Structure 1
């Protein structure tokens, strides 16, 4: 079983086409992209297609789409996450749905993956808001470790449309080769990550990782064709596509 997630509600045109192809939607909470109207529409679309609803909180920086780092105190990070969870959870309730997971966006996601302090602060904010939420984080990163430490369920996230560095992080977007543009390469990477538990880095090394959920970016130029191809490849291998659910002991 594997989850197929996508970042949606960010103002790009393919949300309606992508939603039937995925199992989890990470919906922008209005800070890096989107607004309350977008959240209402995207959540309604997710409910229509029985797709798990996730919060996709980011830095309050629409000008840079939340992709530039910001220096914030732990209390500011905590408040940043909490405000966005409150907002999207309220809208989800109004639409008749509930949140299933949280996946930080962009530079916030990367900072949490690499910084124990940021990871701990974000995990605590999520746990304090709702201990039943699942935290999506870069596979094997500080995000996953911190979430487990506070008692959250986790989903190790891998990427279908991004290349990897030797240390397991994603290749920065400004570097050549950061984005995977070829469908065959995309499917080969996804298959390797699921079946072999590894990924071939941009420098040709194979490194181990755990794949619980596969991310496809909704703003990618190949988003729809990649989603269709991934779904077809997984179904051909009899791999069930299903959203993760929290572990309730």
Structure 2
């Protein structure tokens, strides 16, 4: 990573979400529009992730959660899964040093142990080496499904006592993160696709037609500005 990415520092007085999540959609369509292999769309998508993470410093955004690989994505072809795994390993190898330098803590939600052993080892090493960083938390959803997460949390709550909103929330994969403020989905789709279903209960939703590989820090700024202009009532008037 490089320090050359533009700053996203908001204008004075703007309300900034502490926790933003992104459904990164549109890699395949980006490649198809350009008559390129899907792998090229995923590669450009990783570059979009890199640029966004670089630009978070000084914004007030403390946590960024990215939907990288759902529990349903195993239905994709073996070649595409292999391409995604290779890109994940390359990203960790190339960017881990700067994540450590910039105080980024990596966290995984879902069950990443289902990936190949080399990828699991790289992820586990990155988790350990960034564990004490406090500037920004980058959470990556791998082999993740929101319904499955809620079921696990409810079962864990039941095993130790009463099942309540509070006890389920305490056992979610995201329990260590701030409440979700803003959920962004790219590519024009307007559904949650089994992502952070519990956490999104009172999050603001932002949908854009921009395909993920084309999503820039400036597009992210537009989403932050939209969030800042909204009045959050949490069921009240």
Q: What is the TM-score with the length of structure 2 in the denominator?
A: 0.39
Larger helix share, 1 or 2: 2
Structure of higher CA gyration radius: 2
Q: What is the TM-score with the length of structure 1 in the denominator?
A: 0.37
